[in-house]
Amino acid sequence: MPAEKKVIGLIQMSMSADPAANLDKAADRVREAARQGANLICLPELFNAQYFCQREDHDLFELTESIPGPSTERLSAVVREEKIVLVASLFERRAPGLYHNTAAILDHTIGAKDNIAGKYRKMHIPDDPLYYEKFYFTPGDIGFQSLATSQGEVGTLICWDQWYPEGARITALKGAEVLFFPTAIGWHPSEKEEYGAPQYDAWRTMQRAHAIANGVFVGAVNRVGHEQGDVLLADGLHKGPSGAGLEFWGGSFIADPFGRILAEASHTEETILLAEVDPKLSEITRQHWPFLRDRRIDAYGGITSRFLD
């Protein structure tokens, strides 16, 4: 049977150059969201720092940490105190020279260290101007997954994953009732006037489509503010590349299985976004739009090919 109703909380926030300050701010915002009624909360992608992937810099591997580690320890205290489930995207140090962009899912009912119910490692890694993620992150190797939590089945994908229907579909087929997309995406300021509106519309439309095609709730959470990628490390401030930087477009939203927007944030303001979701709506929607029933699983073999000549 579907889980009970819950309140999703998305933490749309800006980041400073100081990782410690960002972690404190994130913990405070999570606590605030919980006290406003949220019991299933998601932070933006790599919330501990300004978006450092705007350049390739070996010094920035100092930002990595183990999972469990310092950030999950700090956040798990809030998770236990407020009795919630939290999705937190971190720069994971798996082994020397092996790093991932990883979402840790923390659940107050889990007895494991730092209340970690599980984790998801970002599968699709971009390499575009000012998004040089292949320099830092190894592609995930634990696959797409749905995790059973005290707030129902939860699936997490991360930023660039959001453009791939295959990831959302597999995660939903594994039982996820809610798909979270922690994100760090923004405009190149020189492109904003010409392309800004359609870029945001494509991002929003793609994730609404995941909700509709799979009959699930979607929570897409982004950061806001202009960033050069400045990062404060132990030896001092490491400045990002000079120039225009990135203007993160915010616009976080929660959509229901019909694709309707339940709550949406602005492009500029830090926001705690809340919406009540009822998993029973997923079943009702799938009954009326039986996309999963009518899938031709016997005819999709070509999907595993790079291209069909």
Is 193 labeled as catalytic in the residue annotation? no
Chain-centroid distance, C-alpha 124: 13
Q: Find all residues with CB under 8 Å of 78, minimum gap 6, and list them.
A: 27, 30, 31, 34, 84, 86
Please confirm whether the linkage preceding 129 is cis (ω < 30° from 0). Answer: no
Would strands 152-156 and 178-182 be described as parallel, antiparallel, or unpaired? parallel
Q: Which two tokens stand for residue 268?
A: 């500029």
Specify the amino acid at residue 303. Answer: I
Asked if residue 254 lies in contact with residue 277, where contact means CB atoms within 8 angstroms, the answer is yes
Task: Say which of 122, 133, 227, 247 is annotated catalytic.
Answer: 122
Q: Which of 6, 42, 45, 247 is catalytic?
A: 45
User: Rounded CA gap, 301 and 306, in Å?
Assistant: 12
Active site residue 42: no
**Distance of alpha carbon 70 from alpha carbon 103, whole angstroms:** 14
- Hey, is 51 helix, strand or coil? coil
| CA-to-CA separations, 171 to 141, 188, 207, 254, in angstroms, rounded | 15, 31, 14, 17
User: Strands 246-249, 236-238: parallel, antiparallel or unpaired by DSSP?
Assistant: unpaired
Rounded distance, CA 115 to CA 93, Å?
Answer: 19
Is 174 among the catalytic positions? Answer: no
Asked whether the beta carbons of 193 and 298 are under 8 A apart, the reply is no
| From 82, 92, 159, 227, the catalytic residue | 159
CB 65 within 8 A of CB 99: no
Phi, psi of 184 (to 5 degrees): -135, 95
Active site residues: 45, 122, 159
